Structure 1
């Protein structure tokens, strides 16, 4: 883990102005990606916990800090004496690229959920436990990071390093998603179309993202949709007057392959690894089929809290209920908010009261 200084970093822009301590780090995954990682605290108490807050697809770690300080989960936890760590996944704004690949290289974008399971999550947990001198950490996962954590748990990874796990808007299954971009990715084979156009990065705010939106405008009438709704459908509780500020930071880059993987899960109605076709599957997995992540294999000794919304177009309630039905043990706490959609959990004006107070209580109980 290497300490770094950024003039445009999360610490300087979103944490330090509110009177909290913040440190920026860079860590390396086994496959060579350089991830950004922030440590946020006020005054760490002896009884305080070490908590990782991991973001979702097309997000960065800043997503936990875009609400005002008293409505931010990261700062709520830090203010109570806990040590908060905020990772930024590969290719997101506050990470640092790759040891040998550039963003112009096709291989830089050759990743999806499986690489998060195998490389990003283990690197983050290993470095946080080492730096904090603790054997176990709490893990709060949102959206795709919950999918990655469930995938890791189902394969026996990280089980001995996580003390408590909170899953917010989990997307293990996406069989019933009504997310516009997810449906388009499936219906129109968007991933194959974009790869054919030599587009491997997905970020609606980037140059390549503009090309993607232009392609979508030709195929379906979504040209007038706002970017957040394009990913998640309508959100109930995001303050429209803060959208200019939010749009300064979000959304961020992911790979076309990552969205293509979600499209495969929708088609297969299952929770599987990336399908490369029979020949390459045989080479990679030793089988022509695609191995599954199996929720029923997740050990029961990890206390869990699961939170989901009735209007979530990406983590549809039916898919979340399927996940709950396949776990060996029902999570200690399940919180269902009928009016919440996907981004309401991290950007909603009432999330601190509706969601975060319950998370704090669960972690401290």
Structure 2
């Protein structure tokens, strides 16, 4: 197990090295400037379209399998949760409070990336032999760049499948199982089996059942978590100015070691802030447009405006709540990491309740 852990760390160091970070931020910035900051200025329009996209009528209804709102919730179902709880905590633990600033930067440029991904997904999607609308990077690479680039789409499909197990199943199930074991003493294997059965019940119903479940579940858990986070911040309101000072200070200067926190260089804040930001909101990973391709819409731009809200809501809103809760509570220097750190931060302000909310 130690050898496997070291191998994963080595691969992680290469994948999330300077080149990848420059590409992610660089492409996002290029798209944001190319769109003349439209994703930022059109946030209000996006929310109006999302609210109106809860139901589809007319020609749009026959142009996909799930409503635009369900497509957004399906994409967010993989981001609202582990990425917000364990991802943010790990970024702060490894990169210091300054990592949160770089998560914000990733989200601001990531909105343009997510908008572009969804537009391409709808524009270049196909209808399979069963009449279902399918799309995503593998399709818009093949149909948008031409068949000579189809090999690249195949590579994405292969690596995307592997990533589904890596950054998807293993991380998500481990975080869920760890928190439930810590708070309710539920054996890890029990949680694994229950998750397997529940997930299968949803997945075997296809994209329509996934959209229906996500459309109902994601808003409930997101709003519940937001309310709990705001309550904690209200309790720690006096510590918020200092927390913001730490975030902006440590984004550009080295974090000193204190308590169980080993300290972090500026590079660590950038690396873990960007990496965990992308892990949380998935902007540029190519997974979200697969869901948006099944949306009941004939307007790619309209779906793009809805899709970019996923990055805004996930990172700018929910991740910020988590980061501020962790920093204002003071437990970020305790030496605890991952979901356990977020759980401890909530429990610090809401003893006997906060940790159960996170669980």
Relative to the length of structure 2, the TM-score reads 0.26
Larger Rg: 2
Greater per-residue strand proportion? 1
Bigger relative CO (Cα 8 Å, ≥ 6 apart):
2
Greater per-residue helix proportion? 2
Relative to the length of structure 1, the TM-score reads 0.26
